[in-house]
Amino acid sequence: MIDRFGRTINYLRLSVTEKCQLHCDYCRSSEECQNSKELTAEEILRLSRVCVKLGLDKIRLTGGEPLMRRDIIEIAENIGKLQNLRELTMTTNGQLLSQCAKELYRAGIHRINISLDSLNADCYRSMTGGDINKIFSAIEEAKKAGMNPIKINAVLLRGINDGEVNNFLHFSREYGVTVRFIELMPLGRLSDKPEMRITMKEILEKNPVLIPGEKTGEPAREFHFSGSAKAGIIAPMSEPFCDSCNRIRILSDGTLRPCLGCIDEISLSEFLGGDDKMLSEKIERAVFNKPLGYTMRDCEKPIRDMSRIGG
């Protein structure tokens, strides 16, 4: 699908739940936002099928925490069978991954992103509430299952984990994973703390070992270090990539969000009872009208935080 600004939209980020067992401040603002009605596995498949028919050929399952859904393997398996789907991936906090990495791989998830904000067990626990050892075993199991690449997402926060860039680079080389540092977006409890954001420029100034690679048009800008090892920086705030944005989001309650950083939303749930034609038209129109760039601003309370939209 092509939007009114000529961008090709071929990527769906599909949130399957708002629930998450972790409590990362930058991602969530309150506890009560985890109770919305969730799409069923069947509805998720239907939406995916319609989107793939419309030309979206890459789907990422996200949340909330996608592995909190008991039927996640069934969901992945069914989507994985869709003809013309080129890539099925997942972003997870990794806490439950080691138990199901093989099944996920069999279901069609061959690449995975795992969020890990600190390599220090105490810091990781205080930032997220999670157990870092579960992530280390998750990475091992994902590798054994055959997942490749395995990418590590780390949101850097000033005064908390911003001194860990070098450790992350060592870690990524040792574990054979690719780390990507993400700039803090105002989409959670820290939306009023832009001073905590570590920008791409700052990372590069403090870590001259990172040598810029070719620009690829992907959100993650690629860098090399120690020969062929690679890392990425995702800088939506200091270097927005809206011009080349190729994605839309469907939230776990059936809402379509054409742009992560705009409040425009289209409810698809009322069309789930009708035929595919109506649903397709609604999605096509929303894609066509996708905003040119985001309107989220620092210090403005987000209408929905990241955990509800699906990162």
Region from 91-99, 211-219, 263-271, 272-280 binding ligand SAM, contact rule CB under 6 A = 91-99
Find the helix or strand (DSSP H, E) in which 276 lies: helix 276-288
Say how many C-beta atoms besides its own lie within 10 A of residue 142's C-beta: 25
Complex with ligand SAM: residue 3 or 25, whichever CB lies closer: 25
Told to check if 95 binds ligand SAM by CB under 6 A, we report: no
- Among the listed residues 62, 161, 178, 255, the single contact to ligand SAM using CB under 6 A: 62
Selected binder of ligand SAM within 45, 63, 118, 124 (CB under 6 A): 63
Q: At its nearest, how many Å lie between ligand SAM and the CB of residue 239? A: 14
The residue of the chain with the least Cβ separation from ligand SAM equals 311
Residue 72 dihedral angles phi and psi, to the nearest 5°: -65, -35
Comparison of 93 and 98: residue with beta carbon closer to ligand SAM: 93
187 binds ligand SAM, rule: CB under 6 A = yes
Residue 165 carries which side chain, given as an amino acid letter? V
Q: How far is the CB of 47 from ligand SAM (least distance, A)?
A: 18
How open is the CA angle 34-38-42, to the nearest 5 degrees?
Answer: 160
By the rule CB under 6 A, 118 interacts with ligand SAM:
no
Q: How many Cβ atoms are within 10 Å of 215's Cβ, its own excluded?
A: 9
| Residue 221, strand partner residues | 233
Taking CA atoms, 41 is separated from 12, 72, 239, 253, 283, in Å, by 16, 8, 36, 12, 19
Chain contacts with ligand SAM (rule: CB under 6 A):
20, 26-27, 62-63, 65, 91-93, 115, 153, 155, 182, 184-185, 187-188, 306-307, 311
